[in-house]
Structures are given as C-alpha cells and as structure tokens.
Amino acid sequence: MERAYIKRIIVLVLGIIILSSGIALFIKADLGCDPYTTLNLGVSSAVNYNFAIVQIIINLVILAFILAIDKSFINIGTIISLFCVGPLIECFTKVIDRVLPYQYGLVGRVVILITGCLVVAFGVGVYIAAGLGVGPYDILPLIIEKKKSWPYKWIRITLDISCAAIGVALGETIGIGTIIAALGLGPGIEYFRSFAVKFILKQ
C-alpha cells in the first residue's frame, strides 16, 4: 500500500473522529439540532416512526440517488461514515458530559455551540480533503460543486437551510444552533478543506 494512500486513510479517520466530537459538543449545547438532523426528526414525526430507522432510510435514498448520478464520490469513507459516526458521537457525548458535567447558562452554551460548529467544520473539511469518500449528505454539495462549478459554501448553505425549512414545515422546532449551523458550516468546511489539502496533505 502506497505511503500517500495510508496518509489519506489516517486523515480520513481523524476527520471522522473530529467531526463526531464536534457533533457531541453541538448536542451538549442543547440549542437546536443541525439542519440535517432537523429534517430527519421532522420526517420521523410526520410518519410517526423511529428516528434512527428514518435516518437510515433517508441516507439510503440519498445514496441510491448518488449511485445513479455520480458514484465517484463513494469510497471507503462513505462506509466508515455510515457505520462509525453514530457510535463515535455516543462515545464523545459521554466523555464531554464527564468533562463538562455542569448545567451552563446561555452564554456558556453558545460558546460550546460555536466551538462545536468549528470542530464539525474542521472535521468535515479534513475528511473531504482526504478524497476517500464521505457520508451521503456530505456528498450532495460536492456533486453539485463538480457539475455546476458553484462555490461549495453557497451550495452547502442552501442545502442546510432547505433541510431545516423542510423539518420546520413537518412540525420540528429549531434553535439558534440550527441557524448558526445552517449559515456557518458551509463557509467553515470550505475553508478547512483548503487548509487540510495545503497544510496536512501538502498537495
């Protein structure tokens, strides 16, 4: 196995670990779900079915769409993301609850939220930069970016706002965290992807 490929695998795994810890911080802040989770919760409530099952089904639908449109973005990272992010989030949530065991006020929760968003953006940017596949939802803006040559950040913002809007239309509530994530993740991921390519992968 080539040294460069091993490095990309390591970068991929680190990215997934980092983004999972960021989502756990997001959960700790308790100021609203991220846009994609808001969509899944809205659909789950609308059809009155288990959230985890609904999320798997939606991921599989997106994956089927991607396979039909452009399967070049599907790789080992897609599989790792599908099966490892959930357990990692659960693990980091327990760790963070021990490290930050107190009930914080609004200012403290906003600080945790913004930190979580930055960590998620960094993690997603890093694991996209590895070029070994990403999760189904994260692939969608990459496909549009490839086919239309539009800036990634605006594609991601549009998708995130759309997911949040659909979730709200289906009866789900949002918080300040949902808004910050919808507007901030796209630019953050775009920046950190370029950073990872230049300074971590040195390409």
Q: How many domains, the chain?
A: 1
Residues 87-100 have pLDDT tens digits of: 898 899 999 999 99
Residues 115-135 have pLDDT tens digits of: 999 999 999 999 999 999 999
Residue 137: domain span: 3-200
pLDDT given for residue 1 in this prediction: 59
pLDDT given for residue 91 in this prediction: 92
Q: Please classify residue 106 by burial: count the beta carbons closer than 10 Å to its beta carbon, then call 0-12 exposed, 13-18 middle and 19+ buried.
A: exposed
Residues 122-175 have pLDDT tens digits of: 999 999 999 999 999 999 999 999 999 999 999 999 999 999 999 999 999 999
pLDDT given for residue 2 in this prediction: 85
Q: Please classify residue 181 by burial: count the beta carbons closer than 10 Å to its beta carbon, then call 0-12 exposed, 13-18 middle and 19+ buried.
A: buried
b or e along 42-70 (b: 16 or more beta carbons within 10 Å of the residue's beta carbon)?
Answer: bbbeeeeeeeeebbeebbeebbeebeeee
Indicate whether this model's pTM tops 0.85.
yes
